Amino acid sequence: MSTKELSKRGAVWLDALTSSAPLQPGFPPSVRVVDARLGEHDARFIAVVPDPDNPFVRARSGEVGLIEGWEIARAVRMVIDADEGRAVKRPIVAIVDVASQAYGRREEAYGIHQALAGAADAYASARLAGHPVIALIVGRAMSGAFLAHGYQANRLIALADPQVMIHAMGKESAARVTLRTVADLEAFTARVPPMAYDIDNYASLGLLWKLLHVSNADAPTGADQSTVERTLQAALDDILADPSRGLASRLGSPHRAASVKVRSKLREEWR
């Protein structure tokens, strides 16, 4: 799948997991917000999807652009504000299929970096306020788009599927920048785990809470849906049982030994 093909996975999984519950009104077509049950809990589900009629022409293929960034933030902050002072904080599920951030002059002019920060801030603030935040990666989770939508979650879950890709730069761009062919890039990066494009190498970095096998990631069967729902529920329980609201659960892999060493040396030397 090229990065420019319009992906339906975000919309498909949002629909499946919320049993086709209606979209929250007031959001643009590219940001779908649905309030539905997650097990015993009321939850908010958020997905960014392609909008071929997006007024911002550089954000028509499911990219996270200026509007998408701030609208994600609004969708999350509505939940934070509504639950303020309540003992039970509603879970927020980011359904992630975002091939990139939007690239364009308008985007840079009006501060797309600030819009993406708005989204990341909202998710992080929700997490710090006690909302369980879960990211379910069903397609692409790339670069700035993933930093804005998903990477601040307490737990990251991904489907084990060849079209699921998490990375800092798409293959075509990375190949150009490093003066390789795409095939050479794939061969080279397969041997350097943090550079690799496949989801199994990504899983070896210890950032995912679960890697899920489903039979059809494009059109989930009933069994696929149950698998994912059960896992979301389990993630929710895991978050609720965890006293920490930070991201330290991502530091378990041998491939992140240096990340752990840096932190322990900083602590030793801090005083």
Q: Which helix (H) or strand (E) holds 197?
A: none
Residue 71 as a binder of other proteins (CB under 8 A): the answer is: yes
If the CB atoms of residues 45 and 56 are measured against other proteins, the closer one turns out to be: 56
Q: Pick from 11, 117, 160, 234: which binds other proteins (CB under 8 A)?
A: 117
If the CB atoms of residues 178 and 226 are measured against other proteins, the closer one turns out to be: 178
Q: Pick from 158, 166, 175, 214: which binds other proteins (CB under 8 A)?
A: 166
**Euclidean distance between CA atoms 163 and 154, whole angstroms:** 24
Residue 73 as a binder of other proteins (CB under 8 A): the answer is: yes
Residue 179 as a binder of other proteins (CB under 8 A): the answer is: no
If the CB atoms of residues 41 and 180 are measured against other proteins, the closer one turns out to be: 180
Q: Pick from 174, 175, 228, 232: which binds other proteins (CB under 8 A)?
A: 174
Q: What is the CA radius of gyration of the chain?
A: 18
Residue 13 as a binder of other proteins (CB under 8 A): the answer is: no
Helices (H), 47-139: 66-82, 105-109, 112-128
User: Residues 232 to 271: which contact other proteins by CB under 8 A?
Assistant: 246-247, 250, 255-259, 261-263, 265-267, 269-270
Q: Output the smallest distance, CB 256 to other proteins, in A.
A: 7
User: Residues 87 to 106: which contact other proteins by CB under 8 A?
Assistant: 101, 103-106
User: Residues 126 to 145: which contact other proteins by CB under 8 A?
Assistant: 127-128, 143-144
Phi, psi of 221 (to 5 degrees): -75, 175
Stretch that binds other proteins, among 10-18, 37-45, 125-133, 217-225 (CB under 8 A): 125-133
If the CB atoms of residues 32 and 127 are measured against other proteins, the closer one turns out to be: 127
In the structure encoding, which two tokens stand for residue 165, read together? 């890709």
If the CB atoms of residues 15 and 71 are measured against other proteins, the closer one turns out to be: 71
3-class secondary structure, 257: helix
Report the 10 Å Cβ neighbour count for 238: 16
Nearest in space to 165 (alpha carbons), one of 45, 51, 9 = 9
Q: Output the smallest distance, CB 200 to other proteins, in A.
A: 12
Q: Pick from 7, 18, 61, 152: which binds other proteins (CB under 8 A)?
A: 152
Residue written as tokens 């849906």?
A: 225
Q: Pick from 31, 67, 98, 214: which binds other proteins (CB under 8 A)?
A: 67
Q: How many residues comprise the chain? A: 271
If the CB atoms of residues 17 and 67 are measured against other proteins, the closer one turns out to be: 67
Distance set, CA 87 to CA 82, 111, 130, 131, 232 (Å): 12, 36, 9, 10, 21
**Euclidean distance between CA atoms 247 and 103, whole angstroms:** 29
**Euclidean distance between CA atoms 74 and 132, whole angstroms:** 17
Residue 60 as a binder of other proteins (CB under 8 A): the answer is: no
Nearest in space to 233 (alpha carbons), one of 155, 158, 166, 159 = 155
